[in-house]
Amino acid sequence: MSTDLSKRRVVVTGIGTINPLGNSKKGSWENIKKGVSALAPITRFDTTGHKTTFAAEVKDFDPIAHFGRRDARRTDIVIQYGWAAAREALADCDFDSIDAETRRRCGVIIGTGLGGVGSTETSVTVHNEKGPGKVSPHFIPMMLPDSIPARISLEYGLCGPNIAIATACASSTNSIGEAAQMVKYGGYDVMVGGGAESTINPTIVAGFNNMGALSTWNHDPQSACRPFTASRNGFVMGEGATIMVLEELEHALKRGVHIYGEVAGYGTSADAYHVTAPHVDGLGAYYSMQQALERANLSPNEIDYINTHGTSTKLNDAMETKAIKKLFGDSAYKTAVSSTKPMHGHLLGGAGALEFMIALLAMQDGFVPQTLNYEDPDPELDLDYSGAGPKEIEINTAMSNSFGFGGHNATLIARKVQM
């Protein structure tokens, strides 16, 4: 393996996911290619009195089947999603073949915006109704964001960096980017990165509703997420996890494992503008994409596909379009662009990892997913948003954007591996 840090290259060798479109990488990608929408009425709680009554829920996930009754009872659903996705990713890259000594130099960085918020809400209710003595002794590790990477580290003996990142909706993109930096510049040969979120519960839905962030198209959930259209009126909540194995190229080649693509560039920035609203001109998004391009040593016209943050909110879609046009110039109109959130919803802290998975698989298959519900284009947003349907084109490079409350911005660029 290369010890010259300036020459080390980072590749993705394992992917696992639990999300509203499927409980595996294969099943999820098949549904994305079919243009399936997972948006439907909420089943987790009684939505009476809520302005929004739909979301994109994970389906047919049985934590007892994955972890046994004891661990299922002692872990929040967000931990279970991240843990299960990690198991798929690590099996995908034949991690069992890596010896114990090497595992001591492997680490894990996982992003989540809110951690075990479901357990927090339940425990507050128990405390208020039954008293402090009835709060579970497992409550604290159930709600801590770092319990997700901790579980992965414990199961696989990863003794390197063990970190949780919370940058709102940019969390999992930052986590993959920082894990890639650990491989490239920190000398680690293998890192696990990604993100998880599960916030479809009464208080969080009410909070997002009352700040005007969620779509209220209760009459037609599958049409509610409408990125880049004139009628967009808010995002649709999703949930789940996507985890990836990031590996130094020579290490991966020596093991003979499948390589999905190279993590060629990573950028991150702050708007320094507003606690929830994005910079009106998209300057933070611009800086994030610009940094990712510089680190990848690519020019804008070399990007073939952008999986946008594309939330279906008035401010985000407008600023992201402005940022792309400012950075890409005339190339912006020649670059395939789409948002896949109308299919899987907005996974918040888990969004970026799922969308980077989609970008990698799009590059691998030469397939640009459609932006569903692109029926009434916003005349001020004039890029090619792939609204007419999916396309088959050659994709050598793909970009994925994530932007979060607090002014957090993160961008990843994938590239086909060239020797």
Q: Could you read off the pLDDT of 302-355 as tens digits, one per residue?
A: 999 999 999 999 999 999 999 999 999 999 999 999 999 999 999 999 999 999
Residue-level pLDDT at 178: 98
| Integer Cα distance of 142 and 121 in angstroms | 11
Please write the tens of the pLDDT for every residue from 47-65: 999 999 999 999 999 999 9
* Confidence check: pLDDT of 4 > 70: no
Residue-level pLDDT at 122: 95
The mean pLDDT value for 74-89 works out to 98
The mean pLDDT value for 394-419 works out to 96
* Total number of domains in the chain: 2
Please write the tens of the pLDDT for every residue from 253-304: 999 999 999 999 999 999 999 998 989 999 999 999 999 999 999 999 999 9
* Confidence check: pLDDT of 1 > 70: no
Last residue of a domain, one of 203, 221, 255: 255
Residue-level pLDDT at 397: 98
Same domain as 213, residue 282? no
The mean pLDDT value for 217-232 works out to 97
Residue 50 designated active-site: no
Share of the chain above pLDDT 70, in %: 99
Among residues 226, 228, 268, 263, which one has the least CA distance to residue 248?
Answer: 263
- Which stretch of DSSP H or E encloses residue 286? helix 283-296
Residue-level pLDDT at 6: 64
Same domain as 357, residue 295? yes
Residue 279 designated active-site: no
- Which stretch of DSSP H or E encloses residue 120? helix 117-130
Same domain as 243, residue 322? no
| Integer Cα distance of 368 and 336 in angstroms | 7
Please, what sign has the CA dihedral across residues 368, 171, 151, 241? negative
- Which stretch of DSSP H or E encloses residue 279? none
**Residues whose CB is less than 8 angstroms from the CB of residue 67 and which lie 6 or more positions away in sequence, other chains included:** 75, 80, 83, 84
Residue 4 lies in a domain: no
Same domain as 368, residue 408? yes
- Which stretch of DSSP H or E encloses residue 238? none
Same domain as 53, residue 134? yes
Catalytic residue among 169, 225, 279, 344: 169
Last residue of a domain, one of 255, 281, 311: 255
Same domain as 307, residue 337? yes
Please write the tens of the pLDDT for every residue from 95-106: 999 999 899 999
Same domain as 162, residue 88? yes
Residue 169 designated active-site: yes
Q: Cβ atoms within 10 A of the Cβ of 154, count?
A: 11
Please write the tens of the pLDDT for every residue from 225-240: 999 999 999 999 999 9
Residue 2 lies in a domain: no
Residue 231 lies in a domain: yes
| Residue 263, helix vs strand vs coil | strand
Out of 71-80, 99-108, 177-186, 354-363, least confident range: 99-108
| Residue 305, helix vs strand vs coil | strand
Catalytic residue among 279, 309, 344, 408: 309
- Report the Cα–Cα distance between both ends of the chain, in Å, rounded: 15
* Confidence check: pLDDT of 159 > 60: yes
Model's pTM, two decimal places? 0.96
Catalytic residue among 279, 344, 346, 408: 346
Among residues 303, 295, 280, which one has the least CA distance to residue 403?
Answer: 280
The mean pLDDT value for 195-223 works out to 97
Residue-level pLDDT at 16: 98
Q: CATH number, domain at 175?
A: 3.40.47.10
**Domain housing 119:** 9-255
Same domain as 152, residue 36? yes
Residue-level pLDDT at 419: 79
Mean pLDDT of the chain: 96
Residue-level pLDDT at 196: 98
